[in-house]
Structure 1
Amino acid sequence: MYLIDKKNNRLAKIEEKTFSELGFKEREHLQEWLANEPAVFGEDLLIIQKEFDGFADTRERLDLLALDKDGNLVIIENKLDDSGRDVTWQALKYASYCSSLSKEEIRVIFQDYLTRCGSGETAEEKLCEFYGKEYDEISLNKGTGQRIILVAAKFRKEVTSTVLWLMNYNIRIQCFRVTPYKKDDELFLDIEQIIPMKDAEDYVIKMAEKAQDDIMIENRLKSSDALRLEFWTALLKEMAKKSELFKNISPKKDNWISAGSGISGVPFTFVILKNYARVETYIDTGDKNENKKLFDHLHQNKEAIETAFGEALTWERLDDKRASRICSGIDCNPYDRENWDFIIPELIERMVRFEKALRDYLKKSKK
C-alpha cells in the first residue's frame, strides 16, 4: 500500500505489519471491528450475535453471526495472521448447526445480543428496520441458504483449495484478506475479498451453479439408466411367457427396446417416456420413398388392422421426416415402480396384439 504525496507528486510506501507485531488480538480487536462495521464485506449485513455457543450438545463458539438482505444466515469466522488448517471445517460445522434455526430462534438469539450490548431496541424492531417489512412478512434462514465468510491475514493453501472445491457444490463461501499497515503513529487496515475475486464473483457463482446442475443432471441420468435396465429386465421376463418375439433381446439402458419384424428397418418397439408408454413400429428403411410407400400400404388396410388389434391405432406418416410411425400408447409414468404392475402387462398385451395385427400385412409388403 502506498500513500500519495500530493505536494511532491510521489508515492510513499506504507509499512505492512502483522497483527501480532501491533499487539492486536482476535476477539478483542479484529472481531470488534468487523462487528461494528460489517459494511467492510461490501454488502448490508446485520450482526445478530457474537461468540455464539447456543448449539445443542456442544459448547463450540462461532465468532460472528449475521443476516444478509435475503434472509440468509452468514457465519463469519475471523483469524489474525494465519487462517490455520481447520477453519473451513470449523465454519462448515457452524453452518450445519445454524441450518436448523427457526425464525423465532433467530429472533431470540438477536434479542440476547441486543440486551447484552445494552440496546433498548427489540430484535423485531431491528429486523423490521433492516428488511423494510412487517415482522410477519420477513422470512429467515430458508432452506440451505446459509453462507460462510472467512477472514484472515493469510490463508493456507489447504484452506483456499477446499474453499474453491466447495464453491463447485454451490456452497456460498467467501475469503477476505485483512492486512494492517502503519505509517508513523497512524494505523490502516486493508480488507480485500480474494475468493471469489470481487470482479468475477457473479461469474464464479454462476459457473458453480452450472457445475452443480450438471452433476445433478448426470446423477439423474445414471439413476434413470439403472431404472430402465430394471424395467426392461422385468418386462422381457414377462414377455417371454406370452410371445417369442423378444426372446433373443437383452435388457438395455435406453428408453426403447426393439425386436425384428422380418423387414429390415421396421422393428416392433416398446418405448417408455416420463408420462407415456407405447408399442410401435417405426418405419425407417433408410429410404424416405420406401418408408412412405410401406406406410401407405399399411394405411390402406387401416380398418382391417385396427379390427385385428381391437382398437384404434395412431398413424403418423410424418411427411416432413424420413421415417413414419404406427403406435398405440397409454398415459402413465413408467419411472415410478409402483406403476409397473399395471404398465408391464398392459404393454405386453398390446405388443402381442400389435404384432399379430400387422404381421401378415408386413409379409405381403415384401412381395
Structure 2
Amino acid sequence: MIFTYNLQDERIKIPQKTTFKDHNILERKNIEKWVETYPEILGEELLILTTEFDKFDKTSERLDLLALDQDGNLVVIELKRDNTGRTAELQAIKYAAYCSTLNLDQVIDLHVDYLRRRGEQAEREHVKSKLIDFIQNTEFEEINDRPRIILLAMEYRPEVTASVFWLRKFGIDITCVKITPYINDETALTVESSIIIPIPDAKEYLIQVEKKELSEGSQSLSKQEYLEFYADLVSKLGDRIPDTYPKPLPRNYYTISSGLSNVHYEWIFRGRPRNAFSVELHFENSDKLLNQKQLVRLASLQKTLEERTGENVIITKEWGRKWAKISIEKKTGEMSEELRFWAVNNMIIFFEVFQPEIDRLKKSGL
C-alpha cells in the first residue's frame, strides 16, 4: 500500500490507483526515459549502455534498453507500459540471444556511439575505464554469453509469470519489476516500483536454490573434473619441486603463492565452453601503480621465458581494473596427458625464471 502522511494535520491520505494511459504517459517517450535517467527504478545499480538498439545481424528488431550490471553482465531491459501481453518474455529472450555474441570491445563501441548521439564527449579509452570501474566483480575479464533480462510492466499476465518461473529453473536470469501509478493531484503522479520475481524477501535464498539445482548434473561433473585434474598436477609438481601446496578446489583455476603479497602463479582454463589453458603470473595488488612496477621488473625476463618454454609470452599490462599478468597459453580445453605435462613443465619454468627476481623484489620492499 502507498499512502501519504500530512505532518500538519497528522492525517493519512491513500492516493488513488490509476493507469499510465489515463495520463498520456507513453512507453518510449516517458517510461523509457525514466529508466534511462534513473535505472535504480529497476531495483539495482545499472549502467545504461544504449537505448533503442537495433544493430542486430539480419533483423531490424529493436530492444528498449541495454545495460551493464556490477558483475559485468549485459542486461536486456524490455518495457511494457500496460500489461506484458502473452509473449513479453519471449521477445526479451530473442534480444538476449542477439546480444549474447557481444564482447567487451563491441560494448564499449556501442556505448561510445550512444554518448555521442546524446551530444556528450566520448573518448574510447575513457569509456572503457568508465565501464571497467563500474564493474565490481574482481574476476571480470570478458562479457559472458548469458545476458540477464529485466521486464518492466504495470501488469503481468499469468502466461508470462509462469514462463519466467520455469525459465529461471534452467538458469535464465529474468527479473520482473512491476510499476504502479497513483494520482496525488492534478499535477503529480506517485509511481511505485517493486520487484515481484524473484520474491524480494526470499531473493537470495531462491537464487541459491536455483544455482544448486542447476549445478546438480553436468556442472557437478565439471567440478569433479577440475578437482581431479588439479590434484594430479599438484602431485606431479610436488614430485619435482617438493613443497606444501594448497588443496585444489572445484573451480577452473588453481593458484600458488609466490611469497610476495598479492603476487601468485596460476593455472587456469578459459572460455565458455573451455577452449584454452594458461600458465600465468598474476599481480593483484589494490595499488595499480605497484602492479605496473612489479610487472615491468618481471617482464624484462620475457625473452628468457620464451626461450625456455618455446611459447609466445603474453604481457597484459591492464587486466580487470587494476591488475596485470604474464602468461603463456595452450589452445585446448581437453584434460589430456599432453596438457598435464605441458602445465607442470611450464609452471616449473615459471618458478625457475621468475622466483629469483620475486625474492629480490621482496627484499627491496617493492
Q: TM-score range by the shorter chain?
A: 0.5 to 0.7
Q: Give 1:71 shift.
A: 1.2
Displacement of 1:105: 1.3
Runs of at least 4 residues of structure 1 off by over 4 A? 217-220
CA separation of 1:85 and 1:219: change in aligned 2, threshold 3 A = farther
Residues 70 and 134, structure 2, Cα contact 8 Å, conserved in 1: no
In the other structure, the counterpart of 2:216 is: 214
Q: Answer yes or no: is 1:132 the counterpart of 2:133.
A: yes
Other-structure match for 1:186: 188
What is aligned with 1:14?
15
| Paired position in structure 2 for 1:45 | 46
Cα gap change, 1:201 to 1:124, in 2 (>3 Å)? farther
Larger radius of gyration: 1
C-alpha contact (below 8 Å) 2:71/2:140 kept by paired residues: no
TM-score normalised by structure 1 residue count? 0.56
Find the counterpart in structure 2 of residue 116 from structure 1.
117
Q: Deviations over 1:263-310 (max 9, x none)?
A: xxxxxxxxxxxxxxxxxxxxxxxxxxxxxxxxxxxxxxxxxxxxxxxx
Q: Is contact 1:114–1:123 with CA below 8 Å preserved after alignment?
A: no
**Equivalent residue, structure 2, for 1:81:** 82
RMSD: 2.3
Q: 1:203 aligns to what?
A: 205
C-alpha displacement of 1:112: 1.1
Q: Report Cα offsets for 1:64-122 as digits up to 9, x if no partner.
A: 00011111100000001111111100011111111111222111111111111111133
In the alignment, does 2:124 pair up with 1:91? no
Q: Report how many residues are paired.
A: 218
Q: Which residue number corresponds to residue 26 of structure 1? A: 27
Letter in 1 for 2:202: A
Counterpart residue number, 2:149: 148
CA shift, 1:215, in A, is 4.6
1:100 equivalenced with 2:130 (yes/no): no
Contact 1:50 1:64 in 2 (8 A): yes
Code of the aligned partner of 1:197 = I
Q: Give the counterpart letter for 2:209 in structure 1.
A: M
Residues 33 and 86 from structure 1, CA distance in 2 versus in 1: closer, same or farther, beyond 3 angstroms? Answer: same
CA contact (8 A) 2:108 2:127 kept: no
The aligned counterpart of 1:270 is none
TM-score, normalising length: structure 2: 0.56
SS of equivalent residue, structure 2 residue 113 = helix
Structure 1 gaps of 5+ residues are 221-335, 337-367
Distance 1:148 1:123 in 2: 27
Structure 1 residues 42 and 122, CA gap change in structure 2 (3 angstroms): farther
AA partner of residue 186 (structure 1): A
Displacement of 1:133: 8.1
Which amino acid in the other structure matches residue 50 of structure 1? T
Secondary structure, in 3 states, of the residue corresponding to 2:83?
coil
Alpha carbons 1:95, 1:147 under 8 Å: kept: yes
Q: Match for 2:34: what amino acid?
A: W
